[in-house]
Chains A and B, each alone.
Chain A
Amino acid sequence: MAIAVFALILTRNLFSVIVLSGIYSFLMATILVALDAVDVAMTEASVGAGISTVLLLGALHLCKSKEAKPVHKPWLPLAVSVSTGALLVYGAFGLPEFDDPAAPIHQNVVPRYMQNETDVPNVVTAVLASFRGYDTLGETTVVFTAGAGLIALLRRRKKAAPEGARRKGEA
């Protein structure tokens, strides 16, 4: 996965970047299965590797497929990223360890979710639709809003103005 990420950073051909990000998504889905998050892995495989790749390719079709050579030296961004990363790693050592059953994440509401009040064996579905119904309603609304925004941005006007006039109006 690290190789895929490095290749992503270095490649300038946008087509390979998109294919690499699809590969990256599949690797991510594999890791998620290993971490017992089967529902998430399924979503990541279909969304990350399927839909986003198609969308990125569709957008690429409308734009140039070659990234320009960077004009700035990458040292400043590199320094910013690495120092942020060092700070985050330092902070991470204060967090609970991996596979610690006493960690706060396993303590608060989760034991109640596990009692199977709804008689739905897949706890993820039960929590998603029932216990956290408000959350999911909000998420569905966000997806709806993104779709509406996209329609507003990309819908062709019924009577298209002449190309030159439209350009001037937008610039």
Chain B
Amino acid sequence: MSNDLVLRVIGRLLIPFILLFALYVQFHGDFGPGGGFQAGVIIAAGLIFFALTHGVNTVRKVVPDWLVETMVASGVLIYAGVGLAGLLFGGNYLDYFVLDHNPVHGQHRGIFWVEVGVATTVSGVMLKIYYMFASRSGLED
């Protein structure tokens, strides 16, 4: 499959749009359908598509293993950190109303960072899963 010219060219052309769409889904999640879970999955799906057409090692150069593993852990830490921030500002754990002088803005800020954490973990885990299966099966070439 990695030798098909059409697939290679389309993979190269589509990858920016897929990632852009993922970011749109991530940041427009407040107003339309979308959010961290979907955005994370779309990022991972775009990169997996690129890996299928150009080989896993091409993607590994851009998103190396250590980065993926850091993403997996840091997403959960960002999420938990938002909770702790709520504590530091004098509220309850995961209380967003205290994150800004204006409670509603605080909510926006809290939701934003939580979604960032979710997207990071989800895309990291999905990519890592794909890497593990691909490196087992010799799909690297």
Contact = CB atoms under 8 A, between A and B. Distances in A.
Contact of A136 (B29, B118, B137, B139): B118
Contacts of A130: 96, 107, 110-111
A61 B137 contact: yes
Contacts of A46: 38, 41-42, 45
Interface string A120-157: 11101110111001101100110110111011001110
Contacts of A154: 132-133, 136
Given A140-B76, A143-B125, A129 B139 contact: no
Given A136-B114, A140-B75, A119 B107 contact: yes
B104 interface: yes
Interface string A156-171: 1000000000000000
B31 A121 contact: yes
Given A54-B130, A55-B129, A147-B72, A42 B110 contact: no
Interface string A48-64: 00110011001101100
A58 B1 CA distance: 14
B55 interface: no
Given A61-B139, A144-B72, A147-B72, A118 B80 contact: no
A151 B48 contact: no
B133 A140 contact: no
Contacts of A151: 69, 128, 132
Interface residues of B, number: 51
A151 B125 CA distance: 10
A148 B34 CA distance: 26
Nearest to B134: A58
Given A122-B32, A130-B110, A144 B104 contact: no
B121 A39 contact: no
Given A51-B126, A147-B128, 6 more contacts: A118-B96, A118-B108, A122-B32, A130-B107, A133-B96, A156-B136
Closest 5 CB pairs of A and B: A58-B133, A147-B125, A38-B33, A133-B94, A118-B107
